[in-house]
Amino acid sequence: MKKIFLLLVLITVFAACKKTVIQDHVYDNVIYDVGKTVVYQSSAQKTRQKTPTQFISILYSDLFQNSIPNNQLNDLSVMFLANGDKNMITEMLVSNYMNTTGVKLPTSAAMRADLDKFIDATFIRFYLRNPTAYEKYYLKNMIRNDANITPELVYSSFVLSDEYWFY
């Protein structure tokens, strides 16, 4: 009886203990093709309003093409929340940023050299969408007909618009 029991235990131990073989597959030179994707097809798809912190952070990254330092973001958020007139604070912030070195602005000559490219890039940069045919036509004519319009004025008008507050 002991021999049969010992034989059953040995069979169980050897049958239960199987080495699991894991095969590693190494893929070399995998290329993920991520194309440019327009986030919004029209401004009607933007239904959520940015918080003041989101607005400041996105504004800074849109103008400077860099992320805002945390201490500056905290200070500006507190200032923004402490003031009752949000439009005034927004205008002051945009004006301050436009007068700061490091803002990525094209020159007026570059803007006027290729208006289609400038308008498309500006809409994608600030609104995350392509302009409609009418928006492109209107803005192109406005820039052509007024020599005083600079990239700074165009960028300021985009970030001060209502659409810029939504995503």
Question: pLDDT at position 71, please?
Answer: 92
Torsion sign, CA atoms 159, 97, 94, 106: negative
Our CA angle for 125, 161, 45, nearest 5°, is 70
Question: pLDDT at position 5, please?
Answer: 65
Residues 6 or more apart whose Cβ sits within 8 Å of residue 68: 56, 57, 60, 61
Q: Which residues of 73-82 are buried (b: 16+ CB within 10 A; e: fewer)?
A: eeebbeebee
Q: Residues 65-88: pLDDT tens digits?
A: 999 999 999 999 998 888 888 889
Rounded Cα gap, residues 118 and 121, in angstroms = 5
Question: pLDDT at position 110, please?
Answer: 94
49 pairs with which residues across the strands? 166
Question: pLDDT at position 6, please?
Answer: 62
Question: pLDDT at position 121, please?
Answer: 94
Question: pLDDT at position 80, please?
Answer: 86
Question: pLDDT at position 47, please?
Answer: 80
Each residue's pLDDT, cut to its tens digit, for the chain (167 residues) gives 666 766 666 666 666 656 666 666 555 555 555 555 556 777 777 788 888 999 999 999 999 999 999 999 999 999 888 888 888 999 999 999 999 999 999 999 999 999 999 999 999 999 999 999 999 999 999 999 999 999 999 999 999 999 999 88
Question: pLDDT at position 85, please?
Answer: 83
Question: pLDDT at position 16, please?
Answer: 60
Q: Is residue 95 within 8 Å of 152, Cβ to Cβ?
A: no
What tokens does 95 get?
């004006």
Q: In the chain, where are the structural domains located?
A: 51-104, 106-162
pTM of the model: 0.71
Rounded Cα gap, residues 43 and 158, in angstroms = 13
Q: Which of 115, 120, 128, 103 is nearest to 48 (CA)?
A: 128
